Amino acid sequence: MNESRICIALDFKTKSDVENFLKQFEGESLYVKVGMELFYGEGIEIIKMIKEMGHKIFLDLKLHDIPNTVKSAMRQLAKLDVDMVNVHASGGIEMMKAAIEGLEEGKTSGKRPLCIAVTCLTSLDQQLLIHEPLENVVLKWAENAKAAGLDGVVCSPLESKIIHDHLGKEFLTVTPGIRLASDNVNDQKRVTTPAMAKELTSSYIVVGRTITGSQDPLATYKKVYQDFQGE
């Protein structure tokens, strides 16, 4: 397999739950997403354990504060040796620039973590954006993120192609809201299948309950991988 561009959302409450889940993937090199609940509950120990198991980490904390606070926080997060972090694009260009500065100052190796900006949460839809078409709002925030020096954005797969058309294929689109066709969409409004996300040019996809709630997580992961990254 090529390097995985599938971020498995580890929506678990405890370190032991994560360990038991990841043991099912022995021999696989995964890219996993650690969100607020897990990180706030287990702290840096969960990061250390996942790294020791040989997996990459997207630490999904969605920082949004004044520039100096975000810079200081990113300086600390960079020391954890995670592979990707994020901020809210709505925090503005100066805040996003400060995030990059903090990551550069705190990095423990020659390469800082990737930094991406959340545009519009996939739990939102057009009804909540009265004044502008949703894709225009997402594109504007993506343009701001690129201007600030970020590596990409979090967006729906539905907006990935327009972002790549305007900002280039190298600007990453990390897209949650991915489900297999047979799955329940739960609390997300703007969702697609892995195959559709590939067609819509997503750089990375974030997949949670489809894999973590599966009776055979490894087989489901391989199905998602084949649909998204298979030739």
- Looking at the annotation, which residues are catalytic? 62
Q: CA 112 to CA 90: how far, in whole Å?
A: 22
CA gap 74, 98 in Å, rounded = 9
Residue entry with tokens 């810079």 = 71
Q: Are 213 and 183 in contact (CB under 8 A)?
A: no
> For residue 80, what is the DSSP state?
T
Question: How far, in Å, CA of 83 to CA of 39, rounded?
Answer: 15
| Identity of the amino acid at 116 | I
- Determine the Cα–Cα distance for residues 218 and 26; give it in Å rounded to an integer: 9
What amino acid occupies position 31? Y
State both tokens at 172: 């990453």
Separation of alpha carbons 30 and 25, rounded Å: 8
Number of other residues whose CB lies within 10 A of the CB of residue 125: 14
Please give the Cα distance from 175 to 88 (Å, whole number). Answer: 15
